[in-house]
Amino acid sequence: WLHEDCQRILAERPVADATAVWSRLKGVHGLPFASQCAALALVRWREAAAQRSDRPRRWLLADEALLAIAAALPRDAAALAAFAESKFIARNAPALLAALESRGDAELQAEARANAAQAMPDKALVKSLQERVRQHAGTLGIEPEILATKRDVVGIALGDPPTHLRTGWRSRELAALLERAALPAEAQALPGPP
């Protein structure tokens, strides 16, 4: 399994999907819709800036600062500067303000709406699936996170398991959980242990 996982990691795109990064921001789904859209616009901008500068995204703008800016929707550089004493924010204030203004873009709003609707799976279902992954990992003698991370389990609960769970050794080990993910919502009773 180790060789298979290493091959998968080497084949993956190194560029993160901005929408996926946005949907994982802790607290973003609790913001008003306009602020959710602003956060998505800021994440898109930050991802592009991180790629251009070859720096980790959080070095440029921490998640907490990004969410605070999106929640407050500052209208000028002075208001923006209040969120962090950062040369990066001061240097990039025009671009950050432009990103905030783009929150009204119809395509961005549609993407935020579509992803917000599916971003919150049933907590009890996720907990139950995690427990089943934990039990099965125990029988295999591996840590549960090697078999499926919480993010992977959330994907299963949403009916959209990550690609690396659909092929290879994980797909064989998690077959019952993955079959459940393909069912319509009303038929998603949990099967027996995988």
pLDDT tens sequence across 99-122: 999 998 998 898 888 877 666 677
Burial class (CB in 10 A: 0-12, 13-18, 19+), 125: middle
Q: Which CATH class is domain 121-187?
A: mainly alpha
Q: What is the mean pLDDT of residues 183-187?
A: 40
Pick from 14-23, 42-51, 180-189: least confident: 180-189
The pLDDT value recorded for residue 83 is: 78
CATH number for the 18-118 domain, one of 1.10.150.80, 2.60.40.10, 3.30.1280.10, 1.25.40.10? 1.10.150.80
Question: Do residues 151 and 164 touch, judged by C-beta distance below 8 A?
Answer: no
pLDDT at 118: 60
Q: pLDDT digits over 45-90, tens only?
A: 999 999 888 888 888 889 999 999 999 999 998 888 887 767 888 8
Residues of the chain with CATH 1.10.150.80: 18-118
CA atoms within 13 A on the CB side of 19: 12
Higher pLDDT, 157 or 147: 147
Neighbouring C-alpha atoms within 13 Å toward the C-beta of 165: 26
Q: Is the pLDDT of residue 184 over 80?
A: no
